[in-house]
Amino acid sequence: MKTDDLIRTLASDETTEPHMTRTLFAAVGAAVVLAGLVWLAMLGPRPDFMPALHTVRFVFKFVFALVLAGTAALVALPMSQPFDQPSKWRPLLLLAPALLVGAVIAELTMVPSSEWMKIWMGHNARVCLMSIPAIAAAPLAIILLAMRAAAPARPVRAGAIAGLLAGGLAAFFYAAHCFDDSPLFVSTWYTLGIGFVTGVGALLGGRLLRW
Amino acid sequence: MDAAKASEVESREDGWARAMRAGLAGDMRAYRALLEAITPHLRAVVRRNLSGNADVEDVVQEVLLAIHLKRHTWMPDQPFTPWLNAIARHKTIDALRKRGRRAEAPIEGLEEVLPAAAESEGTSHSELERLVGRLDGRSHDIVQAISLDGQSISDVAKTLSMSEGAVRVALHRGLKKLAGLLQEKAS
């Protein structure tokens, strides 16, 4: 095939896919809805949800999860482009871990050390470990699909970001069900759940996001 | 780069970005002219990065196909040439990997490469042509008719007694399939 023939062929293919920004926005929106629906079907809110909203520890879980999902979403867009340079948004990814470290330090100074073990292990470690990946599965799939339609320069990293985003969303919803509010619990069990989803995202990204 | 060269590159960028915006808005004549205009630039980029490999034109064709299928990832408010170079670099690294070589595609100074004429402009042995043979059914007939036999969409629609819309859909699907086949070989 001559290159001119190829060019003529490409110029007769008028079908344009929707712009990647639109696709990604739509995917993130759908991911939020899907995460919410799975959470509602599987777990639902804890009975004392409303009064719990007056406690700092409970609210912090949402702040942390929202910052994590939000910063991952911000980075997901440039990560889906073909440029092989780190985006200027990337340092934002440190925000959520920094919040968590701050909260853990605050907790350790406020709570007597005799209590640490109890609030660290909590009641729901195993449920937490299973729920976050379960809620994150469908959102992860839909975000990966949207990225696949784009052109991520680094498929593995882009997949990991998709996992971080899906894991953050799942943590946000799971937080409303979970009775364990201590940052010690969150920094361990939530983080493990989100980390698992991120790893799965990276693995799938390496397979699905090549172009 | 001296000032004259810099302003030349700048106006080239403006022209390309304008043509791409027109192309995305459906002006296929502007789009075709753009693909023709960028090809010598791509050839130079690919040739430099493949360093002495014979199948430059195969990789140029892969890059053109990727540019076409990923054109919705260009942000119309961002410069066009860096996007173009990023895709060229990505596909060149792929090509090097496919050929079992360590990928070392420099990114600096891409804007300074001199446009290059084709040595071979692609032949009947081109990789893409072989892959067209691996498409199946309607996709194969349509991509073959348009790319190799030089027919137009309406010619093909008449020959195959399909609507032009259906031919367009199948053509687009066939091109995506081609890119998938290329990717299979790369990984």
Distance CA B9, CA A55 (A): 60
A150: contact with B, CB 8 A cutoff: yes
Closest C-alpha to A210, from A154, A157, A168: A154
| pLDDT for position A41 | 97
Min Cα distance B11 → chain A (Å) is: 22
Task: Give this prediction's pTM.
Answer: 0.91
A1: contact with B, CB 8 A cutoff: yes
Distance CA B27, CA B20 (A): 9
> With 0-12 CB in 10 A as exposed, 13-18 as middle and 19+ as buried, what is A43?
middle
Least confident of A183-187, B65-69, B144-148: B144-148
Asked if the model's pLDDT at residue B122 lies above 90, the reply is no
CB within 8 Å: A14 and B26: yes
DSSP string, chain B: --HHHHHHHHHHHHHHHHHHHHHHTT-HHHHHHHHHHHHHHHHHHHHHHH-S-TTHHHHHHHHHHHHHHTGGGS-TTS-HHHHHHHHHHHHHHHHHHHTT-------TTGGGPPP---SS---TT-HHHHHHTT--HHHHHHHIIIIIS---HHHHHHHTT--HHHHHHHHHHHHHHHHHHHHHHH-
B45: contact with A, CB 8 A cutoff: no
Domains of chain B by start residue, with CATH = 3-112 (1.10.1740.10), 127-186 (1.10.10.10)
Min Cα distance B18 → chain A (Å) is: 16
Q: What percent of chain A has pLDDT over 90?
A: 95
Residues from chain B that touch A79, judged by Cβ atoms under 8 A, are none
Distance CA B187, CA A11 (A): 28
Min Cα distance A71 → chain B (Å) is: 21
Asked if the model's pLDDT at residue B171 lies above 80, the reply is yes
Distance CA A162, CA A69 (A): 10
When pLDDT is averaged across residues B82-99 and rounded to a whole number, the result is 90
Distance CA B119, CA A93 (A): 47
Asked if residue A77 is part of any domain, the answer here is: yes
B129: contact with A, CB 8 A cutoff: yes
Asked if the model's pLDDT at residue B52 lies above 70, the reply is no
Asked if residue A138 is part of any domain, the answer here is: yes
Of B24, B32, B66, the CB nearest to A11: B32
| pLDDT for position B110 | 54
Provide the pLDDT confidence category of residue A103 given band limits of 50, 70 and 90: very high
Provide the pLDDT confidence category of residue B15 given band limits of 50, 70 and 90: very high
Asked if residue A13 is part of any domain, the answer here is: no
Least confident of A162-166, B120-124, B179-183: B120-124
Domain count, chain A: 1
| pLDDT for position A65 | 98
Of A5, A83, A151, the CB nearest to B148: A5
Question: Any residues with CB less than 8 A from the CB of A64 and at least 6 apart, and which?
Answer: A96, A99, A100, A103, A171, A186, A190
Asked if residue A5 is part of any domain, the answer here is: no
B12: contact with A, CB 8 A cutoff: no
Least confident of A132-136, A191-195, B95-99: B95-99
When pLDDT is averaged across residues A138-155 and rounded to a whole number, the result is 97
Of B26, B39, B148, the CB nearest to A1: B148
Boundaries of domain holding A167: 18-208
Give the chain B residue whose CA is nearest to the CA of A79: B73
Query: What is the count of residue pairs from A and B with beta carbons less than 8 Å apart?
Result: 121
Distance CA A133, CA A194 (A): 7
